[in-house]
Amino acid sequence: MPQKPDTKGLIAWINICIVWGTTYLAIRIGVEHMPPMLFAGIRWIIAGTGFILYLRLTGKSFPSVKEILPLAIAGIAMIGFGNGLVVFAEQWIPSGLAALLITTVPFWIVGIEGFVPSGVKINKTIFAGLVLGLAGVVLIFGSDIKYLFITENLIGVLALLAADLFWVFGTIYSKYKKINTHPLMGASVQMLVAGVLQTTIGLSLGEVSQFYFERNSLLALGYLIIIGSIVGYGSYIYAIKKLPLSLVSTYAYINPVIALFLGWIVLDEKLTTQIIIAAIVILAGVAIVKKGTSLNKSANPGSQPVR
């Protein structure tokens, strides 16, 4: 009999889908006036430190010494290099196109996790859902794909592909590396470690001379600290502990849809029938992936990691 989905995990996944659909624009605004590594590093240091203090005040324990290293590995992979390379890439790549390239994450996650002994195995239903989701994204951004081949965009494109791989490695490592500390405390430590790394890289690259305060960039930084980092990343860490990665990873398909609808509502950007159809296709793909993971649980409930 299929297990009942974790309700809090599903709420966390919904948070990711909505929140991270807005962060690409905030990052793009931020790097227009601030150097990428210091911009990213300051974001995560403030978010991680603030979150740790809050969690300690609410009685959550700090990770044990032996847990710091695996938390640091996951944080450096997902945030330090995964997010850091996205910020770096958006100096050249438009936010919408960046969101498109990040939609390869579900394929990497599902493909690599399939080789993990206790991981969710790919079945025909999951595969069909992933393909359908990708088809929906291509339908939205199809006319922008040609920009991948423009020379000045190449550095950004390669950075985003590398970001995908770092993010996937960190996600799978975090999923299957047993950590007893509270998921949100673990996420906070990852934020802090990654922020220190990014800031160190920024200082070594001489970004201090390029750093200055500008209103829109500061607003973008504040938004990313509170909403993108604390709410978004905290939800992500919680979701990957409670839900199958094949389902959680579909946030990468929903984020571009959220970004498009927000642009229509807030900025009065054009919303065509083609975009609406594409959004429906993407959401249908997500529903099919969810059904596929449920079928796996039903057929082999012991294959799932202990929750």
**223 with 26: CB under 8 angstroms?**
yes
Q: Which two tokens stand for residue 218?
A: 């500061």
How many residues does the structure list for the chain?
307
pLDDT score for 176: 77
Mean pLDDT taken over the chain: 81
**90 with 249: CB under 8 angstroms?**
no
Selected residue with higher pLDDT from 251 and 2: 251
pLDDT score for 118: 59
**32 with 248: CB under 8 angstroms?**
no
Q: Which two tokens stand for residue 41?
A: 């590093």
**What is the phi-psi region of residue 306: left when phi exceeds 0, alpha when psi lies from -120 to 50, beta otherwise?**
beta
Q: What is the pLDDT of residues 141-169, one digit of tens each?
A: 666 666 666 776 788 888 988 998 898 88
pLDDT score for 166: 92
Task: Round to whole Å and give the CA distance between 209 and 220.
Answer: 20
pLDDT score for 266: 66
Selected residue with higher pLDDT from 126 and 197: 197
Residue 53's pLDDT band (boundaries 50, 70, 90)?
very high
pLDDT score for 120: 61
Closest CA to 75 of 240, 165, 189: 189
pLDDT score for 274: 75
Residue 200's pLDDT band (boundaries 50, 70, 90)?
very high
pLDDT at 262 over 80: no
Task: Round to whole Å and give the CA distance between 183 and 52.
Answer: 12
Q: Integer distance in angstroms from the first to the last C-alpha of the chain? A: 17
pTM above 0.85, yes or no: no
Domain ranges of the chain: 7-299
pLDDT at 109 over 90: no
- The 3-state secondary structure of 250-290, one letter per residue: CHHHHHHHHHHHHHHHHHCCCCCHHHHHHHHHHHHHHHHHH
Residue 300's pLDDT band (boundaries 50, 70, 90)?
very low
For residue 10, the surrounding DSSP H or E stretch is helix 7-30
Long-range contacts of 202-208 (CB under 8 A, 24+ apart): 202/35, 202/36, 202/37, 202/38, 202/40, 202/41, 203/38, 205/35, 205/37, 207/35, 207/36, 207/37, 207/38, 208/38
- Exposed/middle/buried for residue 298 (C-beta within 10 Å: 0-12, 13-18, 19+): exposed
Residue 197's pLDDT band (boundaries 50, 70, 90)?
very high
pLDDT at 73 over 90: yes
